[in-house]
Structure 1
Amino acid sequence: MTEFLIGSGLAAAATGLGAVPALLFSSATHKFRDVLLAFCSGVMMAAAAFELLPQALAFSDIVIVTLGVMAGILLLTLLEQNIPHVHLDHESRSVDIDNKAALIIAAISLHNLPEGLSVGVSYASGAEGLGHIIAIAIGLQNIPEGFLVAYFLLQQKVRKKIAFLLAMFTGLIEYAAAICGYVLTNYLSVLVPFGLAFAAGSMLYIVYKELIPESHGDGNALSATYSFIFGLLGMLWLTQL
């Protein structure tokens, strides 16, 4: 339990760490942000395809894994259809932060729910090293995500302190989701393979539906592609340590 609380807490806190550079630099190019998003995509793709799904299959069978993946995809589909989504990297219109702050943060936090669940379920699975690996993967993904969240809010004329606190808040949402995932699957072990597959499906949805399209939206496809590969390979190296 202690390892889970520390590991998931550090992964969530990485969002705040990533927000710090955004407070120090007044501008960032589209290319820089596209490369960050693509790197996130590679890390999450490797975590889902090479860690979560194989572990889910080891605990059950292809039917359970398929149901779990589809459940994760369908849930995020329903959430995105009912919660207006703000594209952090390509949002050019002005947003009234006073009236829409809650909506914006809710949309951003939508990404963090399956990420937090994946950490919690991974620790609860009991698979050796899986919890740490997924926590590291999510933490690496949270650093550039925290940067983009804070940067987006600063572009809406939000004060630096408030932008940092809101970025940290999205990390706290992830931490709460991790605790829920851990408690649920720890006491209902039958849900472990389904939960791992659910987390994998949710992460794959975010990668293909959000991160990859956004990272290719400003003519930086080649740089983004290399960054995606580096993120994926970096995650593979971590799993072999």
Structure 2
Amino acid sequence: MNQKTLDLMMGFAAGVMIAASFWSLLAPAIELSAELGGNSWLISSVGFLLGGSFVIGSDIVLSKASLIKSKGSAMKRSILLTSAVTIHNIPEGLAIGIAFGSVALGIHGATAQGAVMLALGIGLQNFPEGVCVAMPLRRDGASRMKSFLIGQSSGIVEPIAGVLGVLFALTIRSALPLALSFSAGAMIAVVCSELIPESFKNHKTIAAFGVLFGFAIMMVLDVALG
């Protein structure tokens, strides 16, 4: 894929995810927490920080594992990369499931448009993630089919986590504010640690326009149409 197109797409996904983190996840978490009689700012802040810390902590653990095994084979490094992408996909899937579950519950601030755009934004950034998994495997000697299947398997956790997110939202409503804010924090951490640095590395201006465009589309859908 052309690098400019890839950077634009990743920037767009980052913009959608930043906007969705607030309007589709964090804002509904604050409002629902207030409705349930909880301390809305405290619950949302704790959930947000826990979600971000989960992603950052996963990065640190995997980075240390990569350093430990850096003297091993190239295939081991590819396995570590696959593990990193897989772990990042779990909170993203939970975020989608919780967003749709919130719509089903009729929670104020949660809209079908917002949930769909969140899924679209995460889906778009899954393309470069899949390439990042499959290409090193192919380079290290794996067959085309094996590289493709492993790349796909790194993303299979996302729909599974999505189903779990929906079930969680529908069955444990009192814990939903914490879960929503956790997903928001996890997504912001993924955007800051993965999408923004990678997309801005080669074509900063193009990626910046992608972020602005993605954020604007998400904002229009959530605010004007919500």
Q: TM-score range by the shorter chain?
A: 0.7 to 0.9
Per-residue deviation, 1:143: 3.6
Give the match for residue 201 of structure 1. Answer: 185
Q: Which moved more, 1:223-232 or 1:152-161?
A: 152-161
> What is the DSSP-based 3-state SS (H/G/I as helix, E as strand, rest coil) of the residue aligned with 2:142?
coil
One-letter amino acid matched to 1:102 = I
Correspondence list, 1:62-211, <5 A: 62-84=41-63, 96=73, 98-125=75-102, 126=105, 127=107, 128-129=111-112, 130-211=114-195
Secondary structure of the corresponding residue to residue 155 of structure 2: helix
Contact 2:9–2:124 under 8 Å retained in 1: no
CA drift of 1:157 comes to: 4.2
Identity, in percent, stands at 30
The alpha carbon displacement at 1:163 in A equals 2.1
Work out whether residues 43 and 141 of structure 1, in 8 Å CA contact, stay in contact via their aligned partners in 2.
no
Distance in 2 of aligned mates of 1:103 and 1:186: 34
Give, in whole Å, the separation in 2 of the partners of 1:229 and 1:85.
Answer: 34
The separation in 1 between residues aligned to 2:129 and 2:49, in whole angstroms, is: 25
1:230 aligns with 2:205: no
Q: Which entry has the higher C-alpha Rg, 1 or 2? A: 2
1:59-79 Cα offsets, whole Å, 9 max, x none, are 011111101100101111221
Give the conservation status (yes or no) of the 8 Å contact 2:16–2:118.
no
Does the CA contact (< 8 Å) of 1:40 and 1:144 recur in 2?
no
- TM-score scaled to structure 1, two decimals? 0.74
> Using the alignment, how far apart are the partners of 2:64 and 2:163 within structure 1?
25
SS in 1 for 2:195: helix
Per the alignment, do residues 145 and 223 of structure 1 end up closer, same or farther by CA in structure 2, a change over 3 Å counting? same
Q: Is the 8 A contact 1:37 1:211 kept in 2?
A: yes
Q: CA deviation at 1:105?
A: 1.2
Asked if residue 35 in structure 1 is aligned to residue 8 in structure 2, the reply is yes
Offset at residue 182 of structure 1 (A): 2.4
Q: CA RMSD in A?
A: 2.8
Using structure 2 for the length normalisation, give the TM-score: 0.79
Instruction: Quote the Cα distance in structure 1 between the aligned partners of 2:218 and 2:147.
Output: 29
Is contact 2:48-2:184 (8 Å) kept? yes
User: Gaps (5+ residues) in structure 2?
Assistant: 34-39
- Matched residues in 2 for 1:167 and 1:142: separation? 10
Aligned residue-pair number: 208
**TM-aligned CA deviation for residue 39 of structure 1:** 1.9
Q: Distance in 2 between matches of 1:133 and 1:153?
A: 31
Name the residue aligned to 2:29: 56
